[in-house]
């Protein structure tokens, strides 16, 4: 039962990793951009949520009403004024610019919020749990986080395949120059994709902050978890990122059960193992 | 003009003056221990280490299109290799440095096997994962202090040289020798047939494949070579520090971010880039490091601005404006019409990109 | 002579250092069908790409409906009412037939062309609307490409090599629909390899040769000999 409990907790954490991954997967799908600052943007969202809860007196979930649009706006602006200039044949500019952004964000957060660990306080919900069986119970918060992750991915999936915006994303991803010929402004479409990516990041950041302590240095590890979930799940497949997140979460939980020092290592090893046996991921969709 | 009337040169007048200047500068740097104090020596050794790391990253990312953001994996592996080989293996520290390089080269082969499955940008993050795995693995080695790390035992330190000053001299000279070797090897490599293949890969991978250049093998060779070089520098860095911990050894800021910023600011894909970049970096560091986080933010901002506004870097701006090349990599055809010794009138074989 | 819709004056176009067009001038009137003919490399596709905004040009080199549009970005030009059916069709491969058409309508121009009207024009597409565009035959793909451009309700439709790689019977079928497009008030410009087809379908013809206009005239009055001369510069 102990083991089952660990695995169930791992699955639920996997939802959070899927949220990290979904934003990353989305912008890669639309514009082949890999955002190295993605993890730091998640942490930024957590800090913005902290500031919102403190100034407006709302709970972490209530702060989403502010943080989601705010992060989307940051994403659109960032894409239009900085990242669009880096897109092209050469890999270096987007990687190095987002890498520079990552360093700026980490140190900016350090400057403003210090290196102290923070946490978002969600109140009673944090300790509430639903007993399932002897020795196995589901925390309300992890469960909620998992449900939100599934809902966000379902929402993204619907947006991608059933709305004009999703069509524009797919068309621009297929052939950016022909997309312009049908009246789509690439720069705007890419801006929207980044806005959406950071809106998802905002949700991820809030749940990250409620779940555990955070400080300005933890962004890169979130980038890596998201990245691993994307690769495990298969490029370009949103439901795949959920599967990838769950596999990563379970691997970490099982590793932690064996030895607390093995938690992160087990997750990375699971990723490397899947990369070795199935480099295209479990459920690939996009080539290249 | 017939083909027989031409010969191929890779030298320019600037490069010949450069060779003399470099020889003089090297002599002065080699004599530095007798001219300056320990603090300056230590600073110079750090500069050499960064110059070597940036040159190797440049070879990898700038010339071979393998944009790694996980070079701290190899610095850390080299550092831990030095500690393990001297403490458990009983090796002399200076013998341990090349052995640590060889260990890294061996480890780099399977790592490349995995990472090369990731295309382009995802290769970058994959390389970071490898560094994370190594950091976590290092913190599991309880004999080397686990997560909090360890110091180099006194007997190992004493085996470098008897007095503190002699140790400083020895470490300084080995840093100088290593950076010169790495620079020379890189220049030689880029001017060899391998270098031509590398640039073919970087310019157009598909064309290179159809030209019969074995992309995968050249890339693997460069990846393994830079891993070995980076690990040797890592070993030297921690021989100088005399203390190691997983967080210091596998620091993404110290061994990857700074190295990338140095190369980008100086000029990616140019041999001279890291040299210029390392000067800019240390001047900024010596004057602004007191600002702490603000300094790091400024560094990130400068790197972004360079990438957006002048992707050829500081050296690229200078070189393109004045047509200077200290270390020419391009072969140029010298036609018999222009007398030998007047390379100023040389024609470039390939047009400027 | 009808009112001028598009006027190109002294247009020059470059691919890097290579100049592809040297002072091309032409006019397309409302309701006209203009054929652009010429040998391979004469600059026909370049001319269309430049008008559509895929290749930069001087602002005053292209005037559409009285406004200079040269050098505007492609998406802006579509929204002003010039649509290009690109050479090679360039359908979005991860979109279904219907989605390819719908995305053409996202430019936001109102007009006669709707999904229903396009299916009316090309009935073969209706039953395949849920299929990925890439699975269709060449002729049907060409219909999707034309339908996609029509969905933006253009005042001027530029068709680049719509018969390329298609069987003669399919080409005849597609050309038979063009008058219905003109009847909705859209002017047409077509780049066509087959001179007989081009002359039959058009009211006016321009022949390009090495980036310059070598011949211009009403399609009925131009003889095949004159065209052949302009084609090859003999």
Sign of the torsion angle spanned by Cα atoms C142, C144, C147, C151: negative
**pLDDT at residue B151, rounded to an integer:** 96
User: Is C99–A167 a contact, with Cβ atoms under 8 angstroms apart?
Assistant: yes
User: Is C78–A182 a contact, with Cβ atoms under 8 angstroms apart?
Assistant: yes
How would you classify the pairing of strands C187-191 and C156-160?
parallel
How much is the average pLDDT of B125-136? Answer: 95
Sign of the torsion angle spanned by Cα atoms B312, B318, B322, B325: negative
For chain B positions 186-245, those within 8 Å of chain A (CB to CB) are none
Q: Indicate if the pLDDT at residue B98 is higher than 80.
A: yes
Contact by Cβ (8 Å): B75, B233: yes
Of B126, B296, B308, the CB nearest to A103: B296
Of A173, A178, A184, the CB nearest to C90: A178
Q: How confident is the model at residue B101 (pLDDT cuts 50, 70, 90)?
A: very high
User: Is A85–B308 a contact, with Cβ atoms under 8 angstroms apart?
Assistant: yes
Q: Is A199 exposed, middle or buried (0-12, 13-18, 19+ CB in 10 A)?
A: buried
Of B118, B133, B300, the CB nearest to A100: B300
Instruction: Report the range of poorest mean pLDDT among A81-95, B57-71, B335-349, C74-88.
Output: B335-349
Of B126, B133, B300, the CB nearest to A104: B300
Reported residue count of chain B is 353
CA distance A58 to chain B (A): 31
CA distance A227 to chain B (A): 7
CA distance A167 to chain C (A): 7
Question: Mutate which of C78, C91, C94 to disrupt the A interface (most A C-beta within 10 Å)?
Answer: C94
How much is the average pLDDT of B210-232? Answer: 84
CA-nearest residue of chain C to A175? Answer: C92
d(CA B98, CA C223): 82
d(CA A100, CA A97): 5
The encoded tokens of residue B196 equal 């031509």
CB-based contact, A166 to chain B, within 8 Å = no
Establish, for the pair of chains A and B, how many residue pairs have beta carbons separated by less than 8 Å: 123
Of C76, C93, C104, the CB nearest to A182: C104
Touching partners of C (3+ C-beta pairs < 8 Å): A
Distance of CA C122 to the CA centre of its chain: 18
Whether A227 maps to a domain, the answer reads: no
Half-sphere exposure (Cβ direction) of B91: Cα atoms closer than 13 Å: 16
Sketch out chain C's domains with CATH numbers.
Answer: 4-92+153-232 (3.40.50.300)
Cβ within 8 Å of residue C35, ≥6 positions away: C189, C190, C191, C192, C198, C199, C201, C202, C204, C205, C206, C219
Q: Quote the DSSP letter at residue B163.
A: S
Q: Indicate if the pLDDT at residue B126 is higher than 60.
A: yes
pLDDT digits (tens), chain A, 288 positions = 688 889 999 999 999 999 999 999 999 989 989 999 999 999 999 999 999 999 999 999 999 999 999 999 999 999 999 999 999 888 889 999 999 999 999 999 999 999 999 999 988 888 888 888 887 888 899 999 999 999 999 999 999 999 999 999 999 999 999 999 999 999 999 999 999 999 999 999 999 999 999 999 999 999 999 999 999 998 878 999 999 999 999 999 999 999 988 999 999 999 999 999 998 888 877 544
- What is the secondary structure of B275-310 as a DSSP string? HHHHHHHHHHHHHHGGGTHHHHHHHHHHHHHHHHH-
CB-based contact, A97 to chain B, within 8 Å = yes
d(CA B277, CA A4): 54
Q: Indicate if the pLDDT at residue B22 is higher than 70.
A: yes
Whether A41 maps to a domain, the answer reads: yes
Instruction: Report the range of poorest mean pLDDT among B23-32, B54-63, B190-199.
Output: B190-199
Nearest to A168 by CA among C102, B202, C108, B106: C102
From chain A, the residues in CB contact with C73 under 8 A are 180, 185
How would you classify the pairing of strands B150-151 and C82-85?
unpaired
User: Is B67–A101 a contact, with Cβ atoms under 8 angstroms apart?
Assistant: no
Q: Complex ipTM, two decimals?
A: 0.91
Of B117, B126, B136, the CB nearest to A265: B136
How much is the average pLDDT of B280-288? Answer: 90
Nearest to B86 by CA among B77, B78, B95: B95
From chain A, the residues in CB contact with B260 under 8 A are 96, 99
From chain A, the residues in CB contact with B124 under 8 A are 34, 36, 95
User: Is A180–C102 a contact, with Cβ atoms under 8 angstroms apart?
Assistant: no
Q: Indicate if the pLDDT at residue B331 is higher than 70.
A: no
- What is the secondary structure of chain C as a DSSP string? -PPEEEEEEEEEEEETTEEEEEEEEEEEETT-EEEEEE-TTSSHHHHHHHHHTSS---GGGEEETTEE-TT--HHHHHHHTEEEE-TT----TTSBHHHHHHHHHTT---SS--HHHHHHH-HHHHTTTTSBGGGS-HHHHHHHHHHHHHTT--SEEEEESTTTT--HHHHHHHHHHHHHHHHTT-EEEEE-S-HHHHHHH-SEEEEEETTEEEEEEETTT--HHHHHHHHHT-
d(CA A108, CA A94): 20
From chain B, the residues in CB contact with A276 under 8 A are 114
CB-based contact, A21 to chain B, within 8 Å = no
Question: Mutate which of B114, B129, B254 to disrupt the A interface (most A C-beta within 10 Å)?
Answer: B129
Report the side by side order of strands in the sheet with B6-9. Answer: B6-9, B332-335, B347-348
**pLDDT at residue A187, rounded to an integer:** 95
d(CA A96, CA A82): 12
Round the average pLDDT of chain C to a whole number and report it.
Answer: 92
Contact by Cβ (8 Å): B138, B116: no
SS (H, E, C) B228-277: HHHHHHHHHHHHHHCEECHHHHCCHHHHHHHHHHHHHHHCCCCCHHHHHH
**Which residue segment(s) compose the domain that A102 sits in?**
2-114+138-216
Touching partners of B (3+ C-beta pairs < 8 Å): A
Q: Which residue has the tokens 């719509």?
A: C162
How much is the average pLDDT of B315-319? Answer: 86
Q: Quote the DSSP letter at residue B148.
A: G
**pLDDT at residue B201, rounded to an integer:** 64
Sign of the torsion angle spanned by Cα atoms B287, B292, B295, B300: positive
Q: Indicate if the pLDDT at residue B286 is higher than 90.
A: no
Cβ within 8 Å of residue B167, ≥6 positions away: B157, B160, B161
Distance of CA A178 to the CA centre of its chain: 30
Which helix or strand (DSSP H or E) is residue A131 part of?
strand A129-133
User: Is A276–B114 a contact, with Cβ atoms under 8 angstroms apart?
Assistant: yes
d(CA B224, CA B182): 14
User: Is A167–C104 a contact, with Cβ atoms under 8 angstroms apart?
Assistant: no
SS (H, E, C) B66-112: CCCCCCHHHHHHHHHHHHHHHHCCCCCHHHHHHHHHHHHHHHHHHHH
Q: Indicate if the pLDDT at residue C38 is higher than 60.
A: yes
From chain C, the residues in CB contact with A173 under 8 A are 94
From chain A, the residues in CB contact with B264 under 8 A are 96
User: Is A96–B303 a contact, with Cβ atoms under 8 angstroms apart?
Assistant: yes
CB-based contact, A281 to chain B, within 8 Å = no
CA distance A176 to chain C (A): 10
**pLDDT at residue B291, rounded to an integer:** 83
User: Is B121–A221 a contact, with Cβ atoms under 8 angstroms apart?
Assistant: no
- Angstrom CA distances, B328 to B13, B63, B343, B350, stand at 10, 14, 12, 13
Cβ within 8 Å of residue C105, ≥6 positions away: C113, C114, C115, C151, C152
Nearest to C99 by CA among C125, C123, C65, C69: C125
User: Is C52–A181 a contact, with Cβ atoms under 8 angstroms apart?
Assistant: yes
The torsion of the CA quartet A226, A231, A233, A234, rounded to 10 degrees, works out to: 130
How would you classify the pairing of strands C187-191 and C33-38?
parallel
Contact by Cβ (8 Å): A152, A20: no
How much is the average pLDDT of B321-344? Answer: 53
CA distance C77 to chain A (A): 8
| pLDDT tens string C148-167 | 999 999 999 999 999 888 99
CA distance C52 to chain A (A): 7
CA-nearest residue of chain A to C105? Answer: A182
Of A92, A227, A271, the CB nearest to B61: A92
User: Is B301–A223 a contact, with Cβ atoms under 8 angstroms apart?
Assistant: no
**pLDDT at residue B144, rounded to an integer:** 94
- Angstrom CA distances, C83 to A165, A230, C104, stand at 21, 38, 9
Per-residue burial over C197-229, b if 16 or more Cβ lie within 10 Å, else e, is bbbebbbbbbbbbebbbbbbeebeebeeeebee
Of C78, C93, C106, the CB nearest to A168: C106
**pLDDT at residue C224, rounded to an integer:** 79
The encoded tokens of residue A106 equal 């980490």
Of A168, A174, A182, the CB nearest to C94: A174
| pLDDT tens string C4-24 | 999 999 999 998 889 999 999
Question: Mutate which of C77, C79, C90, C110 to disrupt the A interface (most A C-beta within 10 Å)?
Answer: C90
d(CA A217, CA B318): 37
The encoded tokens of residue C55 equal 């290749």
d(CA B71, CA B79): 13
Q: Indicate if the pLDDT at residue B97 is higher than 90.
A: yes
d(CA B236, CA B178): 9
How would you classify the pairing of strands C82-85 and C156-160?
parallel
Whether A197 maps to a domain, the answer reads: yes
Question: Mutate which of A167, A168, A170, A183 to disrupt the C interface (most C C-beta within 10 Å)?
Answer: A183
CA-nearest residue of chain B to A103? Answer: B300
Percent of chain B scored above 90 by pLDDT? Answer: 55
Phi, psi of A138 (to 5 degrees): -105, 125
User: Is B252–A228 a contact, with Cβ atoms under 8 angstroms apart?
Assistant: no
Percent of chain C scored above 90 by pLDDT? Answer: 74
Q: Coil, strand or helix: which one is A132?
A: strand
Number of folded domains that form chain A: 1
Give the residue with greater pLDDT, A284 vs C36: C36
d(CA B295, CA C221): 76
The encoded tokens of residue A191 equal 């801006």
The encoded tokens of residue B186 equal 């890189």
d(CA A91, CA B265): 17
């Amino acid at each position: 039962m102990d083991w089952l409990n660990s695995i169930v907790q791992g699955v639920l954490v996997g939802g959070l990793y899927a949220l990290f991954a979904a934003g990353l997967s989305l912008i890669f799908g639309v514009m082949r951009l890999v955002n190295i600052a993605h993890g730091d943007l998640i942490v930024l969202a957590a800090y913005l949520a902290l500031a919102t809860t403190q100034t407006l007196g709302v709970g972490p979930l209530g702060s989403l009403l502010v943080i989601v649009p705010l992060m989307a706006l940051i994403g659109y602006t960032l894409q239009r004024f900085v990242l669009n200039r880096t897109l092209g044949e050469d890999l270096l500019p987007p990687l190095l610019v987002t890498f520079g952004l990552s360093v700026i964000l980490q140190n900016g957060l350090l400057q403003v919020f210090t290196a102290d660990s923070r946490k978002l306080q969600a109140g009673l919900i944090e300790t509430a749990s639903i007993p399932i069986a002897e020795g196995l119970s589901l925390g309300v918060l992890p469960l909620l986080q998992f449900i939100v992750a599934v809902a966000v991915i379902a929402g993204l999936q619907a947006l991608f395949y059933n709305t004009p915006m999703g069509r524009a994303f797919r068309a621009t991803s297929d052939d950016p120059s022909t997309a312009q010929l049908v009246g789509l402004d690439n720069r705007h479409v890419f801006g929207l994709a980044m806005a959406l990516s950071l809106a998802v990041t905002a949700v991820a950041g809030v749940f990250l902050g409620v779940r555990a302590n955070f400080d300005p240095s933890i962004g890169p590890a979130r980038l890596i978890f998201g990245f691993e979930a994307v690769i495990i799940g298969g490029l370009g497949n949103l439901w795949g990122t959920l599967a990838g997140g769950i596999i990563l979460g379970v691997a970490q939980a099982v590793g932690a059960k064996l030895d607390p020092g093995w938690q992160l290592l087990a997750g990375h090893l699971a990723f490397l193992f899947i990369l070795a046996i199935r480099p295209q991921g479990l459920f690939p969709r996009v080539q290249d | 003009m017939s083909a027989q009337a031409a010969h191929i040169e890779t030298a320019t007048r600037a490069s010949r003056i450069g060779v003399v200047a470099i020889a003089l500068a090297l002599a002065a740097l080699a004599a530095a221990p007798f001219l300056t104090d320990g603090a300056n020596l230590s600073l110079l050794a750090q500069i050499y280490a960064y110059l070597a790391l940036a040159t190797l990253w440049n070879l990898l990312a700038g010339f071979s299109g393998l944009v790694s953001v996980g070079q701290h994996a190899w610095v850390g592996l080299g550092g831990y290799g030095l500690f393990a080989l001297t403490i458990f293996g009983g090796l002399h520290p200076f013998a341990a440095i090349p052995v640590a390089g060889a260990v890294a080269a061996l480890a780099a082969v399977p790592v490349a096997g995995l990472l090369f499955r990731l295309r382009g940008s995802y290769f970058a993050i994959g390389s970071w994962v490898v560094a994370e795995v190594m950091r976590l693995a290092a913190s599991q080695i309880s004999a080397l202090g686990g997560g909090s790390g360890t110091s180099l035992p006194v007997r190992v330190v004493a085996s470098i040289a008897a007095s503190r000053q002699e140790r400083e001299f020895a470490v300084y000279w080995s840093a100088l020798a290593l950076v010169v070797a790495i620079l020379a090897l890189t220049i030689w490599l880029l001017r060899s047939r391998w270098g031509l293949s590398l640039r073919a890969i970087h310019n157009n991978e598909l064309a290179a494949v159809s030209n019969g250049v074995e992309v995968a093998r050249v890339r693997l060779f460069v990846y393994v070579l830079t891993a070995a070089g980076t690990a040797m520098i890592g070993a030297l860095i921690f021989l100088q520090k005399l203390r190691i911990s997983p967080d210091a050894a596998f620091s993404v800021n110290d061994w990857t971010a700074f190295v990338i910023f140095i190369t980008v600011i100086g000029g990616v894909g140019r041999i001279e880039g890291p040299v210029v970049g390392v000067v800019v970096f240390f001047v900024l560091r010596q004057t602004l490091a007191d600002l702490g986080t603000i300094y790091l933010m400024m560094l990130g901002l400068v790197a972004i601005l360079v990438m957006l506004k002048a992707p050829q870097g500081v050296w690229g701006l200078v070189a393109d404006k004045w047509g200077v090349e200290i270390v020419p990599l391009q072969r140029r055809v010298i036609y018999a019409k222009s007398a030998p010794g007047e390379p100023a009138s040389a024609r470039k074989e390939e047009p400027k990109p | 002579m009808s009112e001028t819709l598009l006027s190109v004056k002294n247009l020059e176009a470059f691919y890097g250092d290579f100049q592809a067009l040297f002072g091309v001038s032409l006019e397309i009137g409302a309701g006209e069908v203009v054929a652009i003919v010429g040998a391979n490399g004469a600059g026909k596709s370049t001319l269309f790409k430049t008008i559509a905004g895929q290749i930069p040009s001087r602002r005053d080199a292209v005037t559409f409906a009285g406004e200079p549009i040269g050098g505007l970005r492609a998406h802006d030009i579509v929204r002003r009412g010039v649509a290009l059916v690109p050479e090679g069709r360039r359908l979005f491969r991860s979109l279904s037939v219907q989605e390819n058409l719908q995305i053409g309508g996202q430019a936001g121009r109102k007009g006669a062309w709707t999904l229903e009207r396009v299916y009316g024009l090309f009935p073969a597409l209706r039953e395949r609307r849920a299929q990925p565009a890439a699975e269709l035959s060449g002729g049907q793909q060409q219909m999707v490409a034309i339908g996609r451009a029509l969905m933006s309700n253009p005042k001027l439709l530029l068709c680049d090599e719509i018969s390329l790689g298609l069987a003669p019977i399919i080409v005849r079928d597609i050309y038979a629909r063009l008058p219905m497009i003109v009847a909705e008030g859209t002017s047409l410009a077509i780049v066509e390899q087959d001179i007989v087809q081009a002359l039959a379908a058009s009211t006016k013809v321009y022949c390009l040769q090495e980036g310059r206009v070598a011949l211009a005239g009403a399609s009925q009055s131009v003889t095949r000999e004159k065209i052949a001369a302009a084609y090859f510069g003999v």
